[in-house]
Amino acid sequence: MGRPKITVVGAGNVGGTVAQRLAEKNCYDIILVDIIEGVPQGKALDLTQAGPICGYSSRVVGTNGYDDTADSSVVVITSGVPRKPGMTRDELLATNTKIVRGVVQETARRSPDAILLMVANPLDAMAHVAYRVSRFPKQRVVGMAGVLDSARFRSFIAAELGVSASDVQAMVLGGHGDTMVPLLRYTTVAGRPVSEWLSKEKLEALVRRTRDGGAEIVNLLKAGSAYYAPSAAVVEMVEAMLKDQKRVLPGAALCEGEYGFSGVFVGVPVRLGRGGVEAIIEYDLAPEERAALATSAAAVRELCSAVDRLLGT
Which of the residues are catalytic? 176
- Identify residue 48 by its one-letter amino acid code: T
The Cβ of residue 195 has, within 10 Å, a number of other Cβ atoms equal to: 13
Q: Report the C-alpha gap between 118 and 283 in whole angstroms.
A: 24
Cis bond before residue 250 (omega within 30° of 0): no
**Residue 230 to residue 79: CA distance in whole angstroms:** 14
Beta strands, E only, 55-119? 59-63, 74-77, 115-118
Query: For residue 176, which of 211, 225, 224, 127 has the smallest C-alpha distance?
Result: 211
SS3 102: helix
Q: Contact at 8 Å (CB) between 115 and 276?
A: yes
Letter for the amino acid at 112? Answer: P
Task: Find, among 104, 114, 109, 107, the residue nearest to 139 by Cα.
Answer: 114
